[in-house]
Amino acid sequence: MRISPESIPMPQPTTAQPLTAHRAGPLRGTIRVPGDKSISHRALILGALSVGETRISGLLEGEDVLNTAAAMRAFGAEVVREETGDWAVHGVGVGGFSEPDDVIDCGNSGTGVRLIMGAMATTPITATFTGDASLRARPMGRVSAPLALFGAEAHGRSGGRLPLTLTGAAQPMPAQYAVPVPSAQVKSALLLAALNAPGVSEITEAVATRDHTERMLAGFGAEVAVEEDGPARIIRVRGEVELRPVTLTVPGDPSSAAFPICAALMVEGSEVTVTGVGLNPTRAGLYVTLREMGADLAFLNQREEGGEPVADIRARFSALKGVEVPPERAASMIDEFPILAALAASAEGRTVMRGVKELRVKESDRIAAMASGLRACGVEVAEEEDMLAVDGRGADGVPGGGRVATHLDHRIAMSFLCLGLAARRPVTVDDAAPIATSFPNFPALMEGLGAAFRRENG
Ligand code: S3P
């Protein structure tokens, strides 16, 4: 039984929603977090590039992914949410995108806009992309410049920023490109562009970033070969392929699971289990770091789902110590540094995070946002272009009491709300609305575990 596209939940414009976290009793219980954001975007896009029906269960229904669903519809695919909560995508095939008749608004999502730009770059159509104030401030030249190697042409604002108009290549060429920044979004955009270019394109990354695109391309029937060269990866994709639709289950997002897990580690007496969490090694660096800090973690029922390793993760409150996070681990935990910084504030001793300058071009400048928020909560912090260090308060506890600016960044909001559950005084975030981009039921799930959140004005 299908429901019409009009009844699909769509992101609504929101006003700022301040939210305050109070010191809580123990957090206890078993939860499942929403589907992986990275995999959800890719499932919709690859489904739209396939011929036939792709079926997706466990899709993240957060604003970022809903914007990608709307974009795939604008490019001509049929995307429907069924009453069961499963999604079906009727793709138009590689090279089959039609020209959207309006601007594509990707909201807050860097992944959405960059991957979609790649997916259309080798089809001779023109589309204009925009997003919210956070996305419009982020660098897009890192994608549009290498897409030019395939023959695409982009015109953006200064620095290649959105709004940006992209015209796909009428006669695409295969490309060879070494991605100069550790970015799975850039890598993935180029791999998607390569699908409609003749011959083999070759994309190299100096360190391994999340490899969901490579895994999923293989699942959809593309010819992909990954060669390891020390820490580097050379990925070769043959273009002009026909992708086969698949049926897939999206695992729980490890980047979302990180919040309840780290909150449980911080709040005395807690024990929380998060079931069905994706544990792809290119995403699992946080868990290595947490173990080094002395976290009591158990990985239960380890299994494989939809081509990705999955486990149930149990976390118990732990007395943690500060650690040095080596730069070579940064890519595998890039989205987890905000919650790690919050956790480090309650550990004993200093935690130093190096090789993290990509954090400066996320939904916000996350080094600056964490540093100023932590200072507002009475925590000493040192920051350099490429480094963040947090002096943990250990047994003294985090003073708290700060009002933190979240800069339209969901992970900054969730990190400080978790910190507030353990701090001596409440912590307020100025706007919790962006949490809906990746983890819409975060407040409800956390309250179900025992968290105390208070909304302003009621
Ligand atoms: C993502 C890649 C990462 C990550 C983002 C999701 C992806 O961004 O921070 O949340 O799905 O490819 P970068 O490519 O900018 O590193």
Active site residue 335: yes
Ligand 1 atom closest to Cα of 334? 9
Q: Ligand 1 centroid vs 179 CA: distance in angstroms?
A: 14
Ligand 1 atom closest to Cα of 37? 11
37-248 architecture in CATH?
Alpha-beta prism (3.65)
| Block mean pLDDT (10 aa), the chain, length 458 | 50 80 95 98 98 98 98 98 98 98 98 98 98 97 98 95 98 98 98 98 98 97 97 98 97 98 98 98 98 98 90 98 98 98 98 98 98 98 98 97 98 98 98 98 98 85
The CA distance from 409 to 206, in Å, is 27
- For a pocket test of ligand 1, which of 111, 216, 439 has the largest count of ligand atoms closer than 8 A to its C-beta? 111
| CATH topology match: 19-35+251-455 vs 37-248 | yes
Q: Which CATH number fits domain 19-35+251-455: 3.40.50.970, 3.65.10.10, 3.20.20.220, 3.80.10.10?
A: 3.65.10.10
pTM (global) more than 0.75: yes
Write down the domain spans for the chain: 19-35+251-455, 37-248
Q: List the Cα angle 107/112/118 in 5-degree steps.
A: 135
Residue 458 burial (CB < 10 Å; 0-12/13-18/19+)? exposed
Ligand 1 atom closest to Cα of 41? 11
Ligand 1 pocket list (CB less than 6 A): 38, 110-111, 183-185, 188, 210, 334-335, 358
Nearest CA to ligand 1 atom 9: 335
The catalytic position among 312, 335, 409, 431 is 335
C-beta separation of 84 from 49 below 8 A? no
Given this model, what pLDDT does residue 14 score?
66
Secondary structure E strands in 287-386: 296-305, 308-316, 324-325, 348-354, 381-384
